[in-house]
Structure formats: structure tokens, C-alpha cells
Chain A
Amino acid sequence: MKPIVLVCVAFATTGVTAVAEAQEASSSGSSSLNAFNPAIAVILNGQYAHHSLDPDEYLRAGFPLAGEAGPGAQGLSLGESEASLSANVDEKFFGQLTLSVESEDGQDSLGIEEAFLDTTALPDGLTLRVGRFFSDIGYLNSHHTHTDKFADRPLPYQAFLGGQYGDDGVQLRWVAPTDVFVELGGEAFRGQNYPSGGATHSGVGAYTLFAHAGGDVGVENSWLAGVSMLHSKTAGADDGFTGTNRLYIADVTWKWAPQGNTKDGGIQLRAEYLVDDRNGVFTDPDGVISDQDWTGKRHGWYVEGVYRINRLWETGYRYDRLMANDSGPFASGFDPDRHSVMLTWRNSEFSLVRLQLSRDHPNPVDSDTAVSLQIQTALGAHGAHKF
């Protein structure tokens, strides 16, 4: 527990200093040296989880655990905490750096989660992004986990994206000048991180295409839907795959709220369907099993519904399911699935406490009943979140 507390204190101190500096800067006009300091936002997370199945014994039929997949830590943990700095660089660029702190098996790791530049001066709704960032495929992938409604990512995100796919790359996206929101974009990535691997093609190993559309139905309803594809040439991914991997995602989100006041009530529904199509070979990272062909499709989906009771409380249910391949190295006739319910109390826009219960069937033999309690806070600059 001690290292966690230390980390929190260290971050809290940084945040407070930053706010104090910002305050000084604004009260003394714009002549001070730190007046151009970027906006600083710090997310602090503390979590307690109890799993009936030992996380070390956890096996997901048909889906080896890669990236940040898996049931999460048993007991007290820091969860994912991050510090984000962002500002306009000049009249043509906006920059953001997000550092994340994670504690795994007693090891603290500080990672660069995002470090990117956005152009702010391209005409006609075009934006170019370069650096390290989360891909805009699907719905959840580009969202930071602290904006999720549940304490962990749904199973298909864990299985096909290792929780969240981010990599070094370049993105071009375009918003159409239409009444209905239409956004088209594509990305090229290094292809270092799961589901890609090995940074093939001289370090341009993965490509994506995505399209999102959205709009309103009256004042009280809003929707957003999208289709995306991730194509990667992979050499030695975290799950032992080498070859061509195509991942397709369809997502749809619907929000209804009385008078459109989503923070005071209403319902939010979301579903995403993921299919990966692999053509290559499996090479056991541990060298136990000999190489064998890995081809064919696997599917996964989730649906979630969240009911906002009032400004302070919300509750939700999520069902996620995976469908394994019936041939290849991870052939399985069993479909892992999970039910989760959560209750969240929001003290303010900046802090929440979340209780989540879930029942997970990762393989034909085991089941894992988990309860988690999470405290999450955001300090510093006021965030502006995506829909």
C-alpha cells in the first residue's frame, strides 16, 4: 500500500502547485514566466477488488490474455492514474502529453500513454495528428478509461485490442460540412503494440480506416454510430501471432435525457461488435508448442445500458461475450461471457465512487465472481470530454 500512497501524494502535490501557479499567473496579468504553462489535469484512481477466482489461475477459452486483458488485480491497487498536459503550441499546432502510472506485481511503471500534436490550421474540417495516440477506431478505443462507465474494459476490447490500441503514428481525419455529423479518417501506425506487433514494414505495420456519423432526434435524443477497420502485418504479437490481422468494429451509442440534460437523468445505451480475421501462424512465446497455422475469424460484442438517476447517482448493466475460433491454436467450442452491474456516486464533476459486481465465465470449468470498489478523481484543469 505504501508505494501507492507515495505516488498519490507526489501527484497531488504537483497538481496543487500547478493550480497555484496558474492562479498566480492570472492574478498578476500575463507577464509571469509560467503564464504559458499548459493545462494540467491529473486523474487519480484507487481500487479494491475481490475475485472469487485467483487472477493467476484465470484462463479465457479461445483468447490468450494480451496487452491489458485479464481480470485485474486482486485486493488494493492504484488502478490507472494519469497526468495530462495540453496547450496550443503556436497558431498551427496543439500538443498533448499524457503520462500514466500503473502498478503491476509491485512494480510501478510510468508510461507515455499519449504524446501528440494536432494541426489547428488545416482548412475545411481537416485535422492531422502525429505522435503517439489512441486510434479512433470503434467507440471506446479513443476514450480514456477514466471516462468509462464501468471499472474495466468490456471483454471484446480486452481480447482484440488489449484493452485499448495506441501506438506511434499519424492520423488524418475530416469532418464533412453536413447537418448530420460525418467524420472520415485513416491512420498509419508503427505496429508495435497489440494486436499488432513487431513494427513490420519498416515501422509502418498497421493501418486503420474509420467513419463515424451522429446526430439528434429532437432535443432529448442523440446518437453516434461508426464502422472501423484495423489492418496490421504482425510479427510476433503478444499472443504469439505472426501474419495478417484484420479487425472490424461496428459501434452504436444512443443517449436519451429529459430536456437533453444528460447529467441530471436519462439513459445511455451502447453496443459494439468486433470481428478479427487472422491469416498467419502461431509461434508459442514460451516455446512449448510447435508452430501451427492460425487462420479464421473470432467475434465479440457487448451491450451496456446506463441509467442516470440524478446529478449524483447512476447505475448500469453490461453484458459482454466472445466467440472463439473452432480451429487453430486456440480452438474452443466455449463462448466466454460476463455480466456486470455497477452503481456510481458522483460527488461532483471531479470525483466519483463506483461499486461494480460481475460474474465472468472465462472457460467451461471456471467462473469468477468479482466485486470492485473504485474511487476516481480529476484535479487541475477542467476536462472537456468527447460524446
Chain B
Amino acid sequence: MRNRFLSAMLLSLFAVPAFAKLQVFACEPEWGALVQELAADKVDVSVATTAFQDVHQIDAKPSLIARVRKADLLVCTGAELEVGWLPQLIRQSGNNKVADGPGNFLAATQITTLEKPAQLDRAAGDVHPEGNPHFQLDPNRVLKIATGLAARLAQLDAANAATYQQRLADFTARWQAAIKRWESRAAPLKGRKILVQHVSWVYLNTWLGLEQIGALEPKPGVPPTSAHLSSLISTAKDENAYAIISAAYQDQKPAKWLSERTGVPVVVLPYTVGGDAGAKDLFGLFDSTIDKLLGAAK
């Protein structure tokens, strides 16, 4: 009797419920939020990183292996952003469902990237052969990714396919209206010159017409040095820079140092969902980003 009880206990530990929800592992908060928009409570989403972490540099932690093990679908940026940890998570988890094929959704495959290097040399810093992977701040690309993601959700979870399509239509309508709103609000930003901490703003710049005149990192992924920062003082002054842009997860010291010497304000943007109080979801992320950029004029 006791044996039967024990084995029942063990079975209940490992058994998968017959009508289990689709388990989604999102590498970054923006894709977790996008899954939430498209699937709401039809899936369980687990987000691997926070807005205060540098997603280039994540440890392949045991907790993440356990989460990948249980996943039916990975939703990640791709373009080698997660090259230092995601392949390790997939290999250690032994979960072949998400290694490739339908269970592996990389946002970068849905869009074209910018800044694809013509030449690959690590002497140029942490360059990504597949282009700049920080494209979550271009709402038009986000919409394309949403379309591909909804199709993928429908493919993996046919029972809820209608819900995903209906929610995509709803999201698309709200998103397109929001893009119009954001673009008209951000019109005064066009042509403004900015300095950035890391080259993670090219998509936002291209969308809003901001002009990047320098980066605090001497090369991508190389921490700012005092010599390089000093050289930016004259750039910032001569070119009448509008703002120094930093992400919530970055160390603000170098930006503040430069700001004190140039009078150019530091604008700390949320960068992804959860990066500040306003960025509760994808809409809030863009609302807050534009609010803060406009705020630099005051």
C-alpha cells in the first residue's frame, strides 16, 4: 500500500497534465511581453533576464537550464546576442524540442538587421556577424516579429490558434495607432544629436531620426576609458549634443562624468520592458522612452 502511494506521488511529480499549457521561455523581457500580448493566459511565460541585466553577459545558470528543460517554445532575439549562454542552456537541458525547428523562435529571423559588419574582426570589439541585435526599440520591426510569433504559437498550439490570430489583429490595430501617436509626439526629436553608452540604439535612432555622434564605449562591449571619455567632451560641445543615452542596466557613472563636464543631460532609458516604472508592457516601454527623450529638452 505504501509502495503504491509512493509511486503515485512520484508519478504526480513528473506527469504532465493532459491539457498542459504551452510553456514559453523568453530570453528577454520584451519578448516575454510580446508573448503576453499575443497569448495572454493561454500559455505560461518564463522570462530569463531582467531589464537590469546585460543580456550579452548572462550565466548559463542551473535555474535557466531547468526552465529550458520544461519549455515547448523559446522566444529569443537571436543574431548571436545570446551566443554566450543560450547554446549552453539548450545543450545542458537535453530538450530537443527547442534546439531548432518550430520550438525555437528567433526574432532576428523575422526582420532585417542593421549594421551587419562587412568585416569580422574582434579587434573591433564585440561585433555581431548577423548585425545589431538591439532591434526591440523599432516598433515596426516589433510588429513584424509579432506576426511571425503569432503564427508560430498557432502552429505549436493549434487548439488556441484562433485566439492567437484574433489577439494579433487586436494588437496590430492598437500598435499601429500607437506608432502614429509616438511618431507625432517624437517629431521634435528629429535631427537631434546624441551620445550613447553602447551601440544599442541604432533602430530607435533610425526610426525617430536621432543622430548618433559618438559612443562612450570605445568599441562595442569595451568599458569606457577616461581617455576616450575625455575625447568626447569636445565632440559633445562642438556638435551641441542633445543628450547622453544610457540603458537602465548600464553603469551610469561614465555618462554622468561626461554630463558634468559638458552640461549635456543624461537620459536613462528603460531599454526594455521593466526598465522603469512606466515600461510595464511594450506600449509603456515606448511611451516612457519618448517621454524621457522629450524631457531632456527642458
Interface residues of A (CB under 8 A from B): 19, 22-23, 26-27, 94, 118, 120-127, 173-183, 212-216, 219, 222-224, 255, 259-264, 310-312, 348-350, 379, 382-387
Contact = CB atoms under 8 A, between A and B. Distances in A.
B102 interface: no
Interface stretch (B33-41, B85-93, B178-186): B85-93
Contacts of A349: 57, 84, 126, 221
Contact of A384 (B70, B85, B93): B85
Interface centre among B70, B83, B92 (most CB of A within 10 A): B92
Nearest to B51: A259
A94 B221 CA distance: 30
B184 to A, nearest CB: 35
A181 B84 contact: no
A187 B80 CA distance: 33
Contact of A122 (B96, B122, B221): B96
A315 to B, nearest CB: 17
A19 B57 CA distance: 22
B106 interface: no
Given A177-B70, A214-B63, A386 B84 contact: no
A264 B251 contact: yes
Interface in B101-131: 118-120, 122, 125-126, 129
B283 interface: no
A13 to B, nearest CB: 15
A175 B94 contact: yes
A349 B87 CA distance: 17
5 contacts: A126-B94, A215-B62, A215-B63, A349-B57, A385-B84
A219 B99 contact: no
B83 A384 contact: yes
A25 to B, nearest CB: 10
Nearest to A347: B222
Query: Which of B61, B99, B221 neighbours the largest number of chain A CB atoms within 10 Å of its CB?
Result: B61
Given A118-B91, A219-B50, A177 B69 contact: yes
A386 B92 contact: yes
Given A121-B96, A177-B16, A310-B223, 10 more contacts: A125-B93, A175-B92, A176-B66, A181-B66, A214-B65, A216-B61, A222-B62, A261-B57, A348-B122, A385-B88
Contact of A261 (B54, B92, B221, B223): B54
A383 B126 contact: no
B249 interface: yes
A264 B66 contact: no
Contacts of A386: 60, 88, 92
B62 A214 contact: yes
Most buried by A among B62, B69, B92, B251: B62
Interface of B, secondary structure class, is loop
A257 B65 CA distance: 19
Contacts of A94: 91
Given A175-B92, A382-B80, A222 B59 contact: yes
B59 A255 contact: yes
A121 B91 CA distance: 11
Contact of B63 (A121, A173, A174, A216): A216
A174 B94 contact: yes
B95 interface: yes
Contact of A260 (B50, B60, B69): B50
Interface string B220-241: 0111000000000000000000
A259 B69 contact: no
Contact of B249 (A125, A127, A261, A379): A261
Nearest to B63: A216
B93 A175 contact: yes
B129 A348 contact: no
A176 B84 contact: no
Nearest to A92: B96
Contact of A215 (B52, B66, B70, B83): B66
Nearest to B122: A350
B83 A382 contact: yes
Pairs A-B, 7 closest by C-beta atoms: A214-B62, A181-B62, A384-B88, A181-B66, A263-B57, A125-B94, A216-B63
B187 to A, nearest CB: 35
Contact of B14 (A176, A213, A385): A176
A120 B222 contact: no
Contacts of B84: 349, 382-385
Nearest to A118: B91
Contact of B95 (A125, A310, A312, A382): A125
Contacts of A177: 14, 16, 69-70
Contacts of A379: 122
Contact of B96 (A123, A223, A312): A123
Contacts of B80: 382
B57 A259 contact: no
A260 B13 CA distance: 30
Nearest to B16: A177
A349 B125 CA distance: 10
Contact of B221 (A124, A176, A348, A385): A348
Interface in B240-298: 249, 251
Nearest to A310: B223
Contacts of A23: 119-120, 129
